């Protein structure tokens, strides 16, 4: 039985707990739930159906830092879901580093640590012979890392291009189909809760750049950082430019790309018929490779679908631990 702590109990943590309540995973026991104020811990497993929100309202809630739980005495698996901070990576990096050093497996959807400390964290995981998985960091539920590792064995990835930010894709979609200006489409997206109140990271292309970096460093084994990415956001895209594209069977999308070792994020013309050209909040990732030539994956890039990535990573941990026990 794997004893897991969910650290970070926001939208995603709650969605994961709900799924595990409705459909328990054999061999997995949630022993801890933690937020920034403290934690709940029960050695035999928490009764998820009885958890009240907020966590602080539950009997047995311990004020303090959940890092106290990051030892093998308490848990076997850390599910790190604290908010992404792309400047410092904290508190995620500290959580993950501590856990890995304690020989605790880690599954995360937090982009910060993977963006800023992938090499170090991978090295520690290797040294300690533990598992570090981060499928949920890019493309929500689209299983891009898993796919490349487990379904394209023997092939060589040449390039990756993607629409990796649902917010900007929603905005560009509304501009394309309704002729809205950027400002109007953004306001609508904020109203609908698709864009955050401070949408800078999305509309300036930073969020896409972060994901492209994670793909580049993880899948293509590059060693790049944000300053290596040419980044142009969507704030200057005009309805006129989109309309002109439309007249030629094309549109404008914010495309992140890794081609010939060069990383870029910018609004690009794309044929409406191209598999990568998806609309609304959808994400799409196109891989070019030597043998398969081309493969495109399309799915929801955020929200609850990300639980699928967490689950898949968790199953990998369970399988790996099982095989170590079995053989």
169 CB contacts (<8 Å, ≥6 apart)?
163, 253, 254, 278, 279, 280, 281, 282, 283
* Binding to a copy of itself, residues 148-187 (CB under 8 A): 150-155
What's the rounded Cα separation, in Å, for the pair 103 and 131?
9
Q: Counting contacts by CB under 8 A, is residue 52 touching a copy of itself?
A: no
Q: Counting contacts by CB under 8 A, is residue 143 touching a copy of itself?
A: yes
Other beta carbons less than 10 A from residue 32's beta carbon: 24
Nearer to a copy of itself, 124 or 277 (CB): 277
Nearer to a copy of itself, 41 or 170 (CB): 170
| Minimum distance of a copy of itself from residue 178's CB (angstroms) | 14
Sign of CA dihedral 316, 308, 106, 113: positive
3-state helix vs strand vs coil in the chain, percent to 5:
40, 25, 35
Backbone dihedral region for residue 8 (phi beyond 0: left; psi -120 to 50: alpha; all else: beta): left
Contact 222, 213 (CB under 8 A): no
Compute how many residues bind a copy of itself; rule: CB under 8 A. Answer: 45
| Minimum distance of a copy of itself from residue 26's CB (angstroms) | 10
The DSSP code sequence of 4-60 is: EEEE--SHHHHHHHHHHHHSPPTTEEEEEEEETTEEEE-TT---GGG--SSGGGSTT
Contact 308, 144 (CB under 8 A): no
- Binding mask 230-269 vs a copy of itself (x if CB under 8 A, - otherwise)? ----------------------------------------
Nearest to 168 by CA among 196, 140, 137: 196
Strand partners, 258: 160, 263
- Of 79, 93, 116, 311, which lies in the binding site for a copy of itself, with binding defined by CB under 8 A? 311
Nearer to a copy of itself, 226 or 297 (CB): 297
- Our answer to whether residue 211 is catalytic in this structure is yes
What's the rounded Cα separation, in Å, for the pair 272 and 59?
55
- Of 14, 21, 25, 101, which lies in the binding site for a copy of itself, with binding defined by CB under 8 A? 25
Q: Nearest 5 degrees, angle CA 75-CA 81-CA 84?
A: 140
CB burial of residue 125 (10 Å; 0-12, 13-18, 19+): buried
* Binding to a copy of itself, residues 262-301 (CB under 8 A): 272-273, 275, 278-279, 282, 284, 289, 291-300
Nearer to a copy of itself, 25 or 190 (CB): 25
Nearer to a copy of itself, 35 or 283 (CB): 283
What's the rounded Cα separation, in Å, for the pair 96 and 305?
23
Element (H or E) spanning 63, and its range? strand 62-63
Q: Counting contacts by CB under 8 A, is residue 191 touching a copy of itself?
A: no
- Of 146, 159, 181, 235, which lies in the binding site for a copy of itself, with binding defined by CB under 8 A? 146
The residue range among 59-67, 95-103, 144-152, 179-187 that interacts with a copy of itself, by the rule CB under 8 A, is 144-152
- Residue 303: CA count within 13 A, CB half-sphere: 13
Which is catalytic among the residues 211, 246, 293, 319? 211
Nearer to a copy of itself, 93 or 287 (CB): 287
| Minimum distance of a copy of itself from residue 226's CB (angstroms) | 28
- Of 147, 190, 232, 270, which lies in the binding site for a copy of itself, with binding defined by CB under 8 A? 147
* Binding to a copy of itself, residues 102-141 (CB under 8 A): 141
Annotated catalytic residues are: 211
Binding residues (CB under 8 A) for a copy of itself: these are 19, 23, 25, 141-143, 146-147, 150-155, 272-273, 275, 278-279, 282, 284, 289, 291-300, 304-305, 307-308, 311-312, 314-316, 323-324, 326-327
């Amino acid at each position: 039985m794997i004893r897991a702590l969910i650290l970070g109990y926001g939208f995603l943590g709650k969605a994961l707990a709900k799924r595990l309540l409705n459909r328990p995973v054999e061999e997995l026991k949630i022993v801890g739930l933690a937020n920034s104020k403290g934690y709940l811990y029960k050695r035999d497993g928490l009764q998820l159906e009885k958890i009240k929100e907020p966590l602080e309202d539950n009997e047995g809630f311990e004020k303090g830092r959940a890092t106290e739980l990051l030892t093998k005495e308490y848990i076997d698996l850390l599910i790190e879901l604290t908010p992404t901070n792309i400047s410092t990576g904290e508190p995620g990096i500290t959580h993950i580093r501590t856990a890995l050093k304690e020989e605790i497996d880690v599954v995360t959807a937090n982009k910060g640590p993977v963006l800023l400390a992938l090499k170090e964290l991978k090295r520690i995981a290797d040294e300690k012979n533990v598992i570090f998985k981060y499928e949920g960091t890019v493309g929500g539920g689209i299983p891009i890392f898993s796919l490349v590792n487990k379904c394209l064995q023997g092939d060589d990835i040449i390039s990756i291009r993607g629409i990796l930010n649902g917010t900007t894709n929603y905005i560009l979609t509304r501009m394309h189909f309704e002729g809205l200006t950027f400002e109007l489409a953004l306001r609508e997206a904020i109203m609908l809760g698709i864009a955050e109140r401070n949408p800078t990271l999305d509309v300036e292309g930073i969020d896409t750049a972060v994901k492209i970096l994670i793909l580049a460093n993880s899948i293509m084994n590059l060693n790049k950082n944000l300053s290596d990415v040419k980044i142009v956001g969507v704030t200057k895209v005009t309805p006129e430019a989109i309309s002109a594209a439309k007249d030629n069977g094309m549109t404008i999308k914010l495309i992140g790309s890794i081609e010939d070792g060069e990383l870029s994020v910018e609004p690009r013309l794309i044929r409406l018929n191209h598999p990568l050209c998806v609309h609304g909040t959808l994400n799409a990732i196109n891989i070019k490779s030597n043998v398969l030539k081309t493969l495109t994956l399309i799915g929801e890039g955020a929200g609850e679908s990300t639980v699928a990535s967490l689950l898949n990573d968790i199953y990998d941990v369970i399988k790996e631990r099982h095989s170590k026990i079995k053989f």
